């Protein structure tokens, strides 16, 4: 890990003869990140520094308060300055991938008194934080927590079944582990989820934002060695993020690498799984395999998740299709509900509050119909079209459809 971080840690590892150098370097990284050796209580700035080394957190210096917060992160908490505008008012900053620093942040989170959900809530209220619209930060943090729990008794890597045991509630894990593949089960003679992935491993202690094509096979090996998961660029087709996994054992080789990919949805309309959402993942997933293996009797198993954070269902739903697909893919398509997540079950009210904050950017109207009418055309809900006569089906603010009272079958018309 030290070789993939700044020279400060590399040199310390190379010139230290202490047998506990690994442990000491993680502690050193944690203290450098926090700006102190005291770990009994973290302030808001330290909480931000910790979580920014686990998940991507974008900071915008569009106000004086945001600029002050960013400058403190640069000066005290190892955030990196990439660029500055000519007027010195806009800073482009980030927390780059440094596995040893992320391991230090993981250690900081394990200390008694650190409340991860409250820490995230405080960050979302901080000036200049780009919240997002779909609950991306929250979903990525839940993946990190599952990874942390799955590696308690291991050194970095975790088995895929163990990861899902910690990601999901007991009842949802019991549903998933015995299921057959959503696609390709018959063609490739695949077993159950637990059997197929029993010797598969993942290894990430942080998630980073990437700015080009996510699913390039060459990057899989690099990200796996850096212990990094991937958060996709804005507008990436079909997926919001991914992390590489091995198929059989821990060997990192082209024929032994597959992936877990995910999408995040935070709208009331997504109560039940949609086949179309999973179909959109086909092309990106197919593009990850550049091996020369043309054996039609085998395929790399892929896990595809859709997090539906506003669904009121209880347990995960593993898709089963009646359509005839070609035999190019072997996938488990899993619809993951808010209530099926183990961390959420432990403190549902706190996580619900954070979800409302983490998916609120751009929803400045609240439930105020008058404000919606003052911004015509800004949304697809009928309240954004105050001078339009609606017939047939009525559309709500979140884009879902409801039956309108009008009985006319004609199209809408302007008054």
* pLDDT above 80: residue 212: no
pLDDT level of residue 411 (50, 70, 90 thresholds): very low
Dihedral angle of Cα 270, 271, 273, 274, to the nearest 10 degrees: -40
Question: What are the C-alpha distances in Å from 221 to residues 117, 260, 391?
Answer: 32, 14, 54
Q: Are 353 and 124 in contact (CB under 8 A)?
A: no
**Nearest partner of 318 among 266, 275, 269, judged by Cα:** 275
* pLDDT above 80: residue 278: yes
- 333 backbone dihedrals φ, ψ, rounded to 5°: -100, 110
Three-state DSSP at 187 gives coil
The whole-model pTM stands at: 0.85
pLDDT of residue 412: 43
Please report which helix (H) or strand (E) contains residue 368, including its range: none
pLDDT level of residue 325 (50, 70, 90 thresholds): low
pLDDT of residue 154: 58
Q: Are 304 and 245 in contact (CB under 8 A)?
A: no
Three-state DSSP at 393 gives strand
* pLDDT above 90: residue 398: no
- 381 backbone dihedrals φ, ψ, rounded to 5°: -65, 150
Q: Are 103 and 205 in contact (CB under 8 A)?
A: yes
Three-state DSSP at 38 gives coil
pLDDT in tens, 182-195: 988 777 777 899 99
* Cα 379 from Cα 400, distance rounded (Å): 12
* Cα 228 from Cα 210, distance rounded (Å): 11
* Cα 368 from Cα 366, distance rounded (Å): 6
Between 391 and 150, name the one with better pLDDT: 150
* Cα 249 from Cα 6, distance rounded (Å): 30
pLDDT of residue 195: 94
- CB proximity list for 126: less than 8 A, separation 6 or greater: 44, 48, 69
- 169 backbone dihedrals φ, ψ, rounded to 5°: -70, 165
* Cα 28 from Cα 10, distance rounded (Å): 12
Core vs surface per residue 352-368: b (16+ CB within 10 A) or e: eebbebbbbeeeebeee
Please report which helix (H) or strand (E) contains residue 345, including its range: helix 342-346
* pLDDT above 50: residue 361: no
> Which single residue is written with the structure tokens 């190379």?
14
* pLDDT above 90: residue 105: yes
* Cα 303 from Cα 168, distance rounded (Å): 15
Q: For the chain, what is the mean pLDDT?
A: 83
pLDDT level of residue 134 (50, 70, 90 thresholds): confident
Q: What is the mean pLDDT of residues 128-138?
A: 84
* Cα 330 from Cα 334, distance rounded (Å): 13
């Amino acid at each position: 890990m030290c070789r993939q971080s700044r020279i400060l840690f590399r040199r310390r590892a190379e010139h230290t003869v202490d047998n506990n150098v690994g442990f000491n370097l993680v502690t050193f990284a944690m203290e450098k990140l926090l700006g102190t050796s005291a770990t009994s209580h973290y302030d808001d700035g330290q909480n931000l520094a910790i979580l920014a080394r686990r998940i991507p957190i974008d900071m915008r210096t569009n106000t004086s308060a945001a600029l002050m917060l960013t400058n403190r992160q640069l000066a005290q908490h190892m955030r990196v300055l990439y660029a500055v505008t000519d007027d010195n008012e806009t800073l482009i900053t980030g927390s780059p991938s440094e596995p040893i620093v992320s391991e230090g942040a993981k250690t900081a989170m394990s200390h008694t008194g650190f409340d991860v959900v409250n820490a995230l809530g405080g960050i979302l209220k901080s000036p200049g934080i780009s919240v997002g619209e779909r609950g991306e930060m929250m979903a990525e943090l839940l993946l990190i927590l599952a990874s942390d729990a799955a590696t308690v008794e291991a050194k970095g890597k975790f088995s895929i079944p163990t990861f899902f045991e910690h990601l999901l509630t007991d009842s949802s894990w019991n549903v998933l582990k015995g299921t057959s593949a959503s696609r390709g089960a018959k063609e490739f003679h695949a077993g159950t989820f637990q059997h197929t992935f029993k010797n598969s491993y993942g290894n990430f202690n942080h998630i980073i934002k990437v700015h080009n094509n996510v699913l390039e096979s060459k990057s899989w090996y690099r990200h796996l060695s850096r212990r990094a998961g991937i958060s996709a660029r804005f507008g990436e087709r079909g997926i919001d993020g991914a992390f590489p996994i091995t198929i059989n054992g821990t060997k990192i080789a082209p024929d032994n690498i597959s992936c877990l990919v995910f999408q995040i949805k935070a709208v009331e309309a997504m109560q039940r799984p949609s086949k179309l959402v999973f179909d959109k993942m086909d092309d990106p997933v197919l593009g990850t395999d550049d091996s020369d293996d043309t054996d039609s009797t085998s395929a790399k198993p892929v896990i595809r998740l859709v997090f539906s954070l506003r669904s009121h269902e209880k347990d995960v739903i593993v898709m089963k299709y009646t359509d005839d697909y070609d035999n190019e893919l072997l996938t488990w398509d899993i619809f993951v509900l808010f209530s099926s997540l183990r961390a959420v079950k432990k403190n549902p009210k706190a996580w619900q509050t954070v979800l409302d904050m983490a998916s609120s950017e751009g929803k400045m109207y609240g439930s105020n119909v008058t404000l919606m009418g003052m911004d015509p055309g800004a949304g697809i809900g009928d309240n954004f079209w105050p001078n339009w006569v609606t017939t047939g089906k009525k559309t709500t603010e979140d884009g879902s459809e409801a039956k309108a009272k009008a009985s006319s079958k004609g199209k809408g018309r302007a008054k």
